[in-house]
Structure 1
Amino acid sequence: MFRILLSTCLVACAGLGACSPGTPSGSDTAAVVAVSDALCRPTPVGRQTTGCYLTLTAPADDRLVAVSSPVAGRGQVHESRMESNMMMMRELKDGLPLPAGQAVELKPGGNHIMLLAVTEPLAAGDTVPLTLTFATAAPVEITAPVGQPDLTDSGHASH
């Protein structure tokens, strides 16, 4: 079911970009960033934060600069990295670079979306509406299912 909904979203997003007659293919105003494999974790008991993961492919160089959701007080784009043998997380204040045509994976232990001040607990089977805002491309609205990410495949999905 998740793959069907995601495929439908991708087809709709791709269709939006294709429905701009008379717009040159290199124009930033017609650019639509493709989103796939969206997933948000359930909120831990007693916590009001969660992580969301997805893959973004921009047709031209761009940057994911903001994320928002009606289920959270705020959203941030974060990076995780090892510092002094500890995993550290910090907000990417300038956003996440999206090189043209390259799939950029947001995943556990790497770049990801953090939802803070989540208003209601999120459980497996729920969905989370997200609005992704880019430096030049049009914003993209998606609905991500809530569930646990598959950590057994080293972050690589087979398509």
Structure 2
Amino acid sequence: MNASFVRLRDRRTLPKSGGDSGAQVTASDELSVEHAEIVLPTIGRASATGYLAVWNGKRSQANLVSVESPAFESVTIYKMEQDGGIARKRRVEGILPIPGNAELLMRPGGVHLLLTQPKETLSSGDAVELTLVFDSGKRIAATATLLAVGTSVTDHHHGDGDVTL
């Protein structure tokens, strides 16, 4: 398992993202998606990059198989891996496991989505639908916000209780 993308949570109530340590959100006993964002491609490129967080509040592992979007021809899951000191982007083949009571964090330099060939003109601020598909047959709908090139994605962090695998 790659330490760059799965973090365990040791509590059921987590500090809210965004640095507001006083606010609380309660972890779900199911799968949930937060901070779905897609950075639009630069002019002349046909691929956008997507990021999101998937919380697995179940005790058992959830296996992400794919992500779909009606707004793009294809959506592929990639991850960055070190190979002889060089970072290389590799397509995730098969499943992407999310252990029970853990969170998959998609972010730059780690796991991310490559969304190719938009089916219509997309602009910053628009929203597109994503569907996460799991090997159990479960499908989770999420709405992703489109961000302009150069915009930072949400820094998703739940506090000091994180344990990196």
Output the TM-score relative to the length of structure 2. 0.69
* Corresponding residue for residue 98 of structure 2: 98
Partner SS state of residue 146, structure 1: strand
Matches of residues 29-44 of structure 1 in structure 2 within 5 Å?
Answer: 32-44=30-42
Higher strand share: 2
Shift of 1:121: 4.3
CA change 1:83–1:121 in 2 (3 A) is: farther
Q: 5+ residue gaps in structure 1?
A: 4-9, 18-31
Question: Does residue 107 in structure 1 map to residue 110 in structure 2?
Answer: no
CA change 1:149–1:157 in 2 (3 A) is: farther
* Corresponding residue for residue 130 of structure 1: 130
Equivalent in 149, 154, 157 of residue 152 of structure 2 = 149
Q: Structure 1: how far apart are the matches of 2:121 and 2:41?
A: 6
Q: 5+ residue gaps in structure 2?
A: 1-16, 18-24, 160-165
On the 8 A contact 2:37/2:153 being kept in 1, the answer is no
Matches of residues 1-159 of structure 1 in structure 2 within 5 Å?
Answer: 32-58=30-56, 59=58, 60-136=60-136, 138-147=138-147, 148-150=151-153, 156-157=156-157
CA change 1:69–1:82 in 2 (3 A) is: same
Supply the AA of the counterpart residue of 1:145.
T
Shift of 1:67: 0.8
Shift of 1:71: 1.3
Q: Structure 1: how far apart are the matches of 2:153 and 2:116?
A: 22
Higher helix share: 1
Partner SS state of residue 131, structure 2: strand
Q: Structure 2: how far apart are the matches of 1:158 and 1:121?
A: 35
CA change 1:35–1:137 in 2 (3 A) is: farther
Supply the AA of the counterpart residue of 1:122.
L
Q: Structure 2: how far apart are the matches of 1:149 and 1:96?
A: 25
Partner SS state of residue 93, structure 1: coil
Supply the AA of the counterpart residue of 1:34.
S
Shift of 1:103: 1.2
Task: Provide the alpha-carbon RMSD of the alignment.
Answer: 2.6
